[in-house]
Amino acid sequence: MASNTTYGDWMRPIAGGIRNIGRPLTFAGLGVLVATLMLSMVNVVAAIATAVVGIGVIAILAMRDREHRNVLDRTVERRTWLAESRKGRALYRSGMLAPVESGQCRLPGILSRVSLVEANDGFGNRLALIRHGHTGEYSLPFSCQPQGASLADDDVEDAYVASWAGLLESLGGEMGVAQLSVTVDTSPDSGVRFRRNLSKRTVQDAPELAARAMAQIMDLYATGGASSSVILTLTFRYVDARNGRFLEPDEAARRIGQLVPNLIRRIADAGGGTARTLTIDEISRMVRVAYDPGAQDSLEQTDGRPWIEWEDAGPVACEAGWDHYRHDSGVSRTWEMCDPPKSNVTSSTLARLLGPLADCDRKRVTVVFHILPPDKTAFMAEQNRQRAANQVSQEKRASISAMSQINKANRQAIEIDRGAAIVFFGLLVTATVRAGDDERIRLEQAAHAVEGAAGSAKIDLRPCYGAQDTAFAASLPLGLNLRTYSPPNALTALS
């Protein structure tokens, strides 16, 4: 049963400018006005034409759809994808048939310089860190076992939420923390592990009735279930103050290791259960199965340590389409959140979207958090409040949207004054189906299931058109920080 407590008051950053069309368009409008006044002294007709054309262009660019995009954004998006496709950068090949001598299956594109390192955390423990070569950042993934709220009382759920808010607030004040992401991955359970565990507990000389009962249990309960994993990934950005360089793995692991005990305790207080850091083998297996869903059954049948190396965790082949991403034995589509729910929500709002969906072979939901440091929080809150007030003052009759914005901005400023932190968050959803003859139909069915679940959660999703490969990589629990990523000058992935 969900708690009666509601949550909300989130707001998009206010663009500012005249009627909140943004500062660039506001400055462009002022430039058109100045040019019109100067031309009017020479040629009135030319001044009128300049004013009409300039204002018309600004008006068109100021018009945005429900995805907050104007005609220029959509045009650039489409043309950029077509140009990259013509250059062959939407294709990737690796392995023995790739035009390289190593024969390895490395990760493609934006993940091409991501590596795994194992270092000492300063307490004698070994940490497996994800190193991002393009940005110099390190990520530490935690495997969590959420307790769930199905049997929790209202006060327990409220305590979970308060503890989660405390975790975000503490991370905002921690130097070096760049991003926090939570990934919930659901997939159908193949039943291999269930059968193997039961087989180990079956003796050869068991009575016939007991043996038949065990066989029926295996047939009934081995398939049809769903497995779910929750991974919390923290991304750190450490720079040496003496020379401005990024820290080496050992020094970064020492700093990160000092935070691990407190993080595990705070995750448990927020309902995440007993958290633990992942090993290199587990991270490699997780990425391999994401790119090649068909390999899950064969990997689960192996006992002991996985045989997958990080250099072979990538796909053999992949192709990025306009609205889908083909990778080895799977075809995926990734959505991004355009707008959070307009109204207040309860703790069970995301339950359907996070749970397994019948039409999706695999589904991954990743929520990304960027916490502003305390020195920027107060400035941002005051800026939002002033921009919201300016929007109301520019309207003769203030609209409901403008009044709602200023009310949210005022409440936000009050909470900031009490010590709260501003958190930017986004959401990515990836649905994967097995490749085959009817893959397109099943992908559309999975898309309808995901969009329906998002609709019940009052979340507006849009496919990541023209960037399906990047969005797929960003939804993986590897801690990829798109805000600091900049593509290299040369193409690093094989195309």
pLDDT (tens digit, 0 to 9) for every residue of the chain, 495 residues total?
A: 556 788 877 888 777 777 778 888 888 888 999 999 998 888 889 999 999 999 899 888 888 877 788 888 888 888 988 888 888 888 898 888 777 667 788 899 899 899 999 887 767 778 899 999 888 899 999 999 887 666 677 788 888 888 888 898 888 888 889 899 999 999 876 666 666 666 666 777 778 777 777 777 766 665 656 778 999 999 999 887 777 788 888 888 888 988 898 999 999 998 888 899 998 989 999 999 999 998 887 776 665 555 688 988 999 999 999 999 999 999 999 999 988 888 788 888 888 899 888 888 899 999 999 988 877 888 888 888 888 888 777 777 777 777 888 888 888 888 888 878 888 999 999 999 998 888 899 999 999 999 999 988 889 899 999 999 999 999 999 999 988 877 654 333 333
Residue 184: beta bridge partners? 230, 365
pLDDT tens sequence across 386-398: 888 887 777 777 7
* CB-count exposure of residue 396 (10 Å: 0-12, 13-18, 19+): exposed
**Alpha carbon distance 450, 491 (integer Å):** 33
Structure tokens belonging to residue 81: 């994808």
SS3 241: coil
Q: What angle do CA 263, 472, 353 make, to 5 degrees?
A: 70
What element of type H or E holds 165? helix 154-172
**Alpha carbon distance 8, 384 (integer Å):** 17
Structure tokens belonging to residue 281: 């083998």
Q: According to DSSP H, which parts of 328-475 are helical?
A: 351-354, 374-393, 400-417, 439-456, 468-475
**Alpha carbon distance 303, 284 (integer Å):** 16
Whole-structure pTM value:
0.86
Question: What length is written for the chain?
Answer: 495
**Which amino acid makes up residue 161?**
V
Give the per-residue pLDDT at 495. Answer: 32
SS3 98: coil
On whether the CB atoms of residues 335 and 428 are closer than 8 A, the answer is yes
